[in-house]
Structures are given as structure tokens and as C-alpha cells.
Structure 1
Amino acid sequence: MRFGIVVVLLGVVFAQDIRPQKYEPKEYPGIEAWLGNLKEDLHKEVVKKLQESAGNWREVADAFLRVNNNELPLLAEMVKRLEALDLLEAKSDWLVENLRYAIRARQEAPWKLDDKTFLEYVLPCRLRYTHFSAWRGVLYERLAKMLRQATLKKTALAVNRYIAKTIKRQEKRTTVFGWWRNPVEVLRSGRAFEVEARGFCIALLRALGVPSRSHRSGWVEFFDGKEWLPLYPFKPENFAKKEAAPMKQAYEKPGTLIVRFRKGKTPLSNFASFSINKESRDGLFDIVWHPFMGGKTDDNGKKEIKLPPGRYHLIAGVRNRNGDAYIFHKIFKIESGKKVELDVDLAIPTSEYREEDWVVRRLPDEAKQAEFETQSGKVKMAELLAAKSALLYIFNLKNEPSVRMLPLVCRFLAKSNVEKAYLLFIGKKGNADLNKELAQLKEHPPVAFISVEKARRLFKLPYHKKQKRFKALPAVLLFKQGRLVLWSEGYDLNIESVLEAAMRR
């Protein structure tokens, strides 16, 4: 009997419509009015972060309602630098504590910092690869009186000596993947591997009001009021010595990497799936540059990156229609003051294609029986299927790739031995814009016409109902003796090569 009751109760619970929570300012009176005191751009950033906080948004919102008018913009600056996982884990107490100890460190320090330096290199409380926590208050209360000196540089040296003396270095990482110990855990355990020590060092410097950051090649840097200098947590004897950097060329004049990404002839604009890496001493790759550090590629698929002299690994990747990764790897060398140009083609070689790369979907039975209007009559799909080889190019003029790829497909047809081919235009006869496009071609196959509704129904073409447009045109279908050997959709300036390879299948 009890078992039956439990089953029924569980059934009721799991039958409920459980939806993810989202930021609802109406449920938290006063939050929108209070955030309205922020500048417009900063206000938008905060709202975005509250939305990213999902079910934890009330904790984050509560922190904003607990600060005064002078603290409000500083809390906003701190929150906008948090990542999604930080926002999901954040507690109101943690946010307020980190904020107020950062302000206190600035006010009590014997040096002055400009707002930009403070906001970028002292205020931020997130540390890479650690769970978000309230670390600043613990470090300040325990170590500020002991370590703070009269200048930024002397304070940084005191921190360097303290870490080398009190934190035991672990030679090996506890795990290749997973989280680092946060600063409080490092302080309490008295041990850290090299990367954890860097995070602890940055946290301790910031807790004391010293601007600090991680150098992308693997050590800490602090700002002494004039310039950024290196700090090696376990080697205080090398304090501020640029020549002691593990990467000797780090402080030499950098070189420039100019990299262009494309898929065949198609530039990969706004591309971010790549990184610049160096080999670490334990045989792993350490990321020294990633688009989150300096932005994605431009409209031409190009990105310029300044790098210290040295040997690097460029790693980039794309996925096929099945989600399988195709990885590109290139080793290159940067020399001081010189440029290196790399052209990266991320088009998956046709030799690596799987069936779903060649054919995005099967031809529906209804489409096999269809017929379409032409300028002079009608054409049946059965005629294409009966031919030794045939091509159907489905397009419109609203999806720009349709226009750009049309001459490429026509050029392929002119030099190939495809027996039958039709351009299937989604629209009505007599379209003036279509006639203008066709007039620019030296030659082209006959044109057939189909309505939007019929194109969607027969070919199952992906369609955006709200925007009333097709998601991926043109569609290129190639048949050999009635067998569909290629069905490609969307932008592909490498379509000629793909068609040539499909003809050999």
C-alpha cells in the first residue's frame, strides 16, 4: 500500500510542467527602479547577467538591493565580469563582501589607482577554473596588516615572499581536468600546484589593492604604477625580472599572426572555434590566446594577433552535420617584429564525408511524383530521376547565398556531363529580379517554378515561420541513375569541388 502511494506521488511530481526559472523583475519589487540609477549601457549588462543567472537570479538581485548608491555601479562592474556558472553559484553575501573589501582595500592603500585600472585588475572577483567564492574578506583580514607595504612594488614583493615561504609547491596537478582550489582553500591547506599558486597570488594581490593579472604564457604580472612586471610565486629571487620569464621572448617586441579561416572559398566570419597554444612542461597544451581574449574573426574570416616570439600551435575545429569534430592543427613560429600569415581551410575533405554529409535528407516519395511549371510547359521530377545524371538547384532571391552560388553551379554544369539540370525558383513566373540575375549568366539550365508552400511540403526545407524565410538555401540535389548522391543546403562557395566529388561517387 505504501509503495503504491509513493509511486502515485512521484507520478504527480514528475507530471508537473517544470520550467526553468528566469529573471522576472515584477516578482522582486524595487529592483528595476534601483537598477535604473545605472548608466544605460551598464544597466543593460546587469539585466543580461540577471537573465544568465536563471534560477539563482534572486540571489544576484538581492546583492544589488543591499548596496548604496555609490557602491551600485561598482557592483554592476563586478557582476558584468562574471561568467554564467559563477552567476548560478553566487550568493548575495559573497557578492557584497567581495565588493566592499575591494573598496576598502582601495581606500586604505597608501597608493592611488585610476578608475580603469581598479575596475579591470583589482575589483574583479572571478578567477579562472575555480568555483566562485567569497575569498577577498578572508585574505584581507588575515594578511593585509602583515603584507601591505608603502608602495605597490614592495607589497607585491611581500606577497611573493609569503607564498614561497608558506605555500608548499605540488609538482604534479591533482587532476588534468576539473577545478582548481580557490584562494581560501589554498591558504588553509598550505599547498598548491603551480597554476593554483598563480590564482592564489592574483587573488592575494587584489585583496591588498594591487592590480594583477595572469600573463598568457604562464606567470603573474602586477602593476607598479608605471608598468606591468612579472612575479613568479615560488621564485621571489626572480621578482620583477623580465629576463627570468620562463618564456624568454615574452617581453621582447611581439610578432604578428595574421590568420584567415575559410571553408573552401567561403570566409568564416565571426569565427571563434580556435585557439593559440604552447606546449607545457608536462606535455599538455596551455592556451595563450583565445577569441574570448580578443574577439572573433572579421567579415573576411581574418584575425590579427600579437604574440611574443616563440613556437606555437594553432588548433581550430568545425563539426559535420552529425556533430563529429574535424580538427585542424598547425605549428608555426613567431619572430620579433615580423608577420606570419596562415590560410586555414576548414572545409571537411570529401574523403572524410559520411553519408549525412553528402545527403542531408532522403527525397520524400511525394517529391518523386511532383511536377513543376516552366516557361513553356511542365517538367516532371520523374524525368530527372530517369536520367543518367541530373541536377536540381532550388533557390530564391531572398537568401543571398542562392544568388552568389548560382554562377558557380552553372559553371560546374558547363564543364560536366550532367545529362539534365533545372533551376527550381521559389516564386512566380515573370519575376523581374530573377530575369536580371539570369541575364548576367553566359548560359544556364531551364528554369522551373514552385511556390513557397509546395517547396516546404515536397522537399521539407527548413523554414523560419516567424521571419517567413527559408533557413538554408540554396539546396543542390545531384542524382546518378535515379540515386540521390548529393543534397547540400546553405552557403558553400566550394560547391563546384563538392559536386565534382559527388559525381565520382
Structure 2
Amino acid sequence: MAPPPERNLPTVSVTEEEVQRNSERLKIEDEIRSSHQRTFVSHEEAINIAKEINLCEDRVWDLLKKARGNSWVIALFLKQYGNIYGEMSLKLLESLNPKDLIDTGIETLADHLIHSVDLKGDFEEDTFVNYILCPRVYFEMLGAYREYFKGKFSLEEREGFKQNPKALVKWIKENIDLLQSATYYVGFASPKGSFDLRKADSFSRDILFVALARSFGIPARLEPTDKRPQYLRDSDWKDAFVSKPVEREENIPSGKIRLVRACNCNCRVKAEYFNNFSIGRFKNGIFQTLAYQDVGFEYFGKYFDLPEGYYRLVTGTRLSDGTVLVRVSLFEVKEGQNVDVDIIFREDQNNVENLGSISGLKGLTPLGKNSQGSISLNKNAIIAWIEPDREPSKHLIRELRELAEEMDKINPSVYICVGEDKLTPAFNADFYDGLPQGTIFAVDKAYTCFNSFVSAAKKELRINYPAVFVVDRNNNIRYASTGYKLGIGEEVLKLLQKLSKI
């Protein structure tokens, strides 16, 4: 896959007065943001809360840090229920998506905790936490509904559903009307809303099934590949077929596959579903991509179930110019069989481009805890200039964090540079954790170092941030990018991996 040719668009001239006015507005925005962030639960406060309720300090801080502006609500929930329900209150919070921590209230959290703990029974911990305790089914609005649902059915009815989940499927089929033409798009109605209306589209009804099942102590989920509703019975996931006639409840035969790195594949790229590989099942004349959400590669590295049929594995390697090297392979899954499928990423066979050379990193002064560190080019290095308070630069930092483990394997030098005019009161180099080992922040007074890179590069570079360069151990510039684009971190990692072999 090749992108269209790159065009150099005309630059927009900006006056010094406009630049100054924009900088002043950015400082005001930064002050407003920083003032709000200072109201979040601090690390010290999180540790004290953890000690107060006798729970793991690191886990409590991790949750409160993710909760951001909702951190005091989460803290109050832990204070009220941590001493009563112990670690289970943490497990409930950890089962949620990070976004849920930002906007979920105490009433909702308490409802799901209080009315789930007595359903633990003999279920394994992971099964209970992920498929009974967890309030999140898909992308529906979270709300309190467990106590409500229990109040709508007698104990005898709830026990009957638990003993025979097909009875719950039958109840939903008979009591919830399908309204497929009522909305233009598939909706994610709240379970309580669908129950009260007794009407839903097919997907909302599937969400309702999972919510009801979990409320009654039946492990339930939306199957990871195609989101069909399932319940756990005798250690096997059974299809509920809520949106289909009850009499057609036979399960699709399945086999197991495992993705393995091919022995002859030297590419060390990090495999991420939907980012650089996907699996599609051949159905109704086309390959339909399986919708795995928030699943790490470790899931695919173990045998996992797939319905019987023909499948397509697509991998892609994105190059710095936007070209994607695609590889397609086909495989078949048969009932009861285990299949190993090689996952291979094509490698760029072109030589690494030499964009020019520099004499060093003159003009950089270390910041923060590494202020006494030395700045030198004695090995392959990443040098990046950022605007700390701007989203494009924040995205780059996030990518470097996500790839830190892979980068540490090849151990490049990493310098994150900030122009003196970009330093704001809220900027603190010591707050940037999780980056590759040995990352050094530096201030570039008068952009002396940055200008030397722009002058040395044998390509036209627009002054835009973040600006990212890769320099080899011989001080040759091997990569240059200005302005954010998706996947800069991945491009830099692949290049460094290639340079490490030279």
C-alpha cells in the first residue's frame, strides 16, 4: 500500500505579535489546567488512603492517578467500602476501563460491589472478577442496576436462571421486543433502560442479557471476536443467541489457534491488534474482521477459541513515508483441532537513509533529576523537541512510554528537548515517568541545537513540533520528522533496531 506523493504546502506567515499573543494564551490555558490538576489526589494522599484502609499502596495510587478529576470520588468509595470488602473493592475498580474511573460515581460502584460479592461461590477469581463482578459489558452507559434487577425477580426465579441460563434467554426473548428499525445505528442502551422499556435493538438486548446474567451470578460476556452473547456453563462458553429464535441455541463448533513468531522472522516489531495485524473470518462471501478490543498480544500467544471456518491474517509494517508493507496469509480452523499460525511482519529491505551529519549536541542543558548528566552522542540516539503543553507532543511522549520496554532492549540514548520559550510554570521534567531508561530532558536556549539539526538535514523541514531525529553512533542523521503523525515512535523503534545490526 503506497500513499500519494507528498506535497509541500505554502507556509502561513505569522507576525511576532501574533506569536506572542498565542504564547500568552497558552500560558493562561496551562495555568487553568494546572490549577485544576492540583485538586486531584496526590501520590502522598493516595498512600495515606491506602494505609488507612490497609490495601496495596501501588494499586490504590494507580487507580487514583487514572481517575484524575474523579479521584476524590474513587477515594471516597475506597474509604467507605475498602475496610468492609477489602481487596474486592480494588478488583472492581481494576475491572473497569480507565475512562470509567474518570466519570463513574459512588452509587454505581457500590451497587455493583455490594450485590456481587455474595455471588463469588466456587468460581475462579478471574472468572468472577471479569464476568460477574465487572459492571462494564461493552460501551453502554454505566449505571446502578443490580439491586434493581434483583428486586424485579423473586429468589426462586433468580436461582432458576442460575441453574438453567437458557431460562433467562427464554425470558428475554419473550419479554423484550426487538426494534431493529427504530435507530439508524446499533445502540448501546443501558441495561436498566432496555429492561424498563421492554424494547431494544439487538445489540442493546445482548448487553441486557449479560447484565442480567451477571446480576444473578451467571458468568456472561460478549464473545471477543463477534460480540455474540455467551454464558459460562460446565467450563465452556455457550452461545445465548438472544437475538435469534430460542430453538436455535446449538453452538457453533470451534477449534483453537495460537499466533507464533516465525523462526525465520527477524523483525522485532511489537504486535498490536488493529494497529499492525488483524484476523478476519470468511462469512457470507467476505472476510469479516474480528473485533477484539483492548486485548494484548499475550492473549494471541496462547491457544484461544475460534469458530470453525476459514480465516485471513493480515500484518502491516508502516514505513516513514506512509507506505505499508502488507502480508496476507490464510488458515482454516476445524472443530477440536489446535492450529499454530505464523505471524510475520515484512521488513523494509531498503538501506537506511543518511540525511546529513552533525558535530554534537551543542546548546543543550540538562533539566530535572538528570541535570548533572552528560549529553553526548556515543551511541544511537533519539533527539526530540517538544511543546510540553500541546497535545501533539503529549501523543509522542505516550508512544515513547508504550514502546519503552522494546527500546530498552537496544538501549539508545534519548534526549527530550524543550525550547526556553516553551517552559511553563507547570512543566516539571521529573514528572515524566515510564520513558525509556536513561531519558534526559534538556533545555535548548535560543534553539541552537535544533537549528543545527535543521541546517544539517538534507531535506526540507518545516518548523513544527514535535520534531524528532534519530542519530547513529557516527553522528549521522538517519531520521527526521517535524509535526505529529501517528506511529512516530514505532518508526523510530524499527529504525533503531535496524541500526543496532549495522
TM-score, structure 2 normalization: 0.59
Q: 1:420-499 to 2 correspondence within 5 Å?
A: 459=453, 473=472, 489-492=495-498
SS in 1 for 2:196: helix
Q: In structure 2, what residue type is equivalent to 1:163?
A: I
Q: Does 1:229 align with 2:233?
A: no
Query: Which digits, 9 at most, give the CA deviation of each residue in 1:314-338, with x for residues without a partner?
Result: 2444544467876655443223425
Q: 1:171-190 to 2 correspondence within 5 Å?
A: 171=180, 174=183, 180-190=188-198
Q: Does 1:314 align with 2:328?
A: no
1:167 CA displacement: 1.4
1:79 CA displacement: 0.5
Aligned to 1:499: none
Query: Which digits, 9 at most, give the CA deviation of each residue in 1:115-171, with x for residues without a partner?
Result: 5543332111111122322232332222355731347232x2331111101212244
Partners of 1:129 and 1:263 in 2: CA distance: 40
1:312/1:96 CA distance change after superposition, 3 Å: same
Query: Which digits, 9 at most, give the CA deviation of each residue in 1:5-47, with x for residues without a partner?
Result: xxxxx99975844226243155579523234x12x4xx43332
Q: Does 1:141 align with 2:151?
A: yes
Q: Is the 8 A contact 2:315 2:343 kept in 1?
A: no
1:89 CA displacement: 1.6
1:349 CA displacement: 7.6
Partners of 2:30 and 2:237 in 1: CA distance: 58
Partners of 1:125 and 1:206 in 2: CA distance: 9
1:160/1:59 CA distance change after superposition, 3 Å: same
Q: In structure 2, what residue type is equivalent to 1:76?
A: L
Partners of 2:96 and 2:285 in 1: CA distance: 30
1:166/1:271 CA distance change after superposition, 3 Å: closer
1:65/1:202 CA distance change after superposition, 3 Å: same
Partners of 2:267 and 2:30 in 1: CA distance: 48
Aligned to 2:464: none
1:100 CA displacement: 0.9
Q: 1:123-202 to 2 correspondence within 5 Å?
A: 123-145=133-155, 147-150=157-160, 152-154=162-164, 156-171=165-180, 174=183, 180-202=188-210
1:231 CA displacement: 1.8
1:398/1:290 CA distance change after superposition, 3 Å: same
1:189 CA displacement: 3.1
1:166/1:151 CA distance change after superposition, 3 Å: closer
1:268 CA displacement: 1.9
SS in 1 for 2:128: helix
Aligned to 1:86: 100
Q: Is the 8 A contact 2:63 2:94 kept in 1?
A: yes
SS in 1 for 2:152: helix
Partners of 2:197 and 2:161 in 1: CA distance: 29
Aligned to 2:253: 249
Query: Which digits, 9 at most, give the CA deviation of each residue in 1:347-389, with x for residues without a partner?
Result: 4686xxxxxx9869x647x76xxxxxxxxxxxxxxxxxxxxxx
Partners of 1:324 and 1:211 in 2: CA distance: 44
Q: In structure 2, what residue type is equivalent to 1:167?
A: I
Which sections of structure 1, spanning at least 5 residues, go unmatched?
A: 1-9, 351-356, 368-393, 400-425, 427-452, 463-469, 479-486, 497-505
1:80 CA displacement: 0.5
Aligned alpha-carbon RMSD (Å): 4.8
1:457/1:295 CA distance change after superposition, 3 Å: same
Aligned equivalent of 1:18, options 26, 33, 36: 33
Partners of 1:53 and 1:169 in 2: CA distance: 36
Q: Does 1:215 align with 2:233?
A: no
1:189/1:285 CA distance change after superposition, 3 Å: farther
Aligned to 2:290: 287
Aligned equivalent of 1:76, options 64, 68, 90: 90
**Percent sequence identity over matched residues?**
16
Q: Is the 8 A contact 2:46 2:64 kept in 1?
A: no
Aligned to 1:34: 52
Q: Is the 8 A contact 2:169 2:246 kept in 1?
A: no
Q: Is the 8 A contact 1:257 1:334 kept in 2?
A: no
Q: Is the 8 A contact 1:476 1:489 kept in 2?
A: no
Aligned to 1:339: 339
Partners of 1:265 and 1:49 in 2: CA distance: 38
1:75 CA displacement: 1.3
SS in 2 for 1:60: helix
Q: In structure 1, what residue type is equivalent to 2:115?
A: Y
Q: Does 1:97 align with 2:111?
A: yes
Q: In structure 2, what residue type is equivalent to 1:181?
A: A
Partners of 1:268 and 1:25 in 2: CA distance: 34
TM-score, structure 1 normalization: 0.58
Partners of 1:187 and 1:282 in 2: CA distance: 36
Query: Which digits, 9 at most, give the CA deviation of each residue in 1:431-479, with x for residues without a partner?
Result: xxxxxxxxxxxxxxxxxxxxxx9999855799xxxxxxx976457669x
Q: Is the 8 A contact 2:137 2:222 kept in 1?
A: no
1:187 CA displacement: 1.5
Aligned to 2:267: 266
1:147/1:59 CA distance change after superposition, 3 Å: same
1:63/1:160 CA distance change after superposition, 3 Å: same
1:284/1:196 CA distance change after superposition, 3 Å: farther
SS in 2 for 1:121: helix
Q: Greater shift after overlay, 230-239 or 71-80?
A: 230-239
Q: Does 1:64 align with 2:74?
A: no
1:489/1:230 CA distance change after superposition, 3 Å: closer
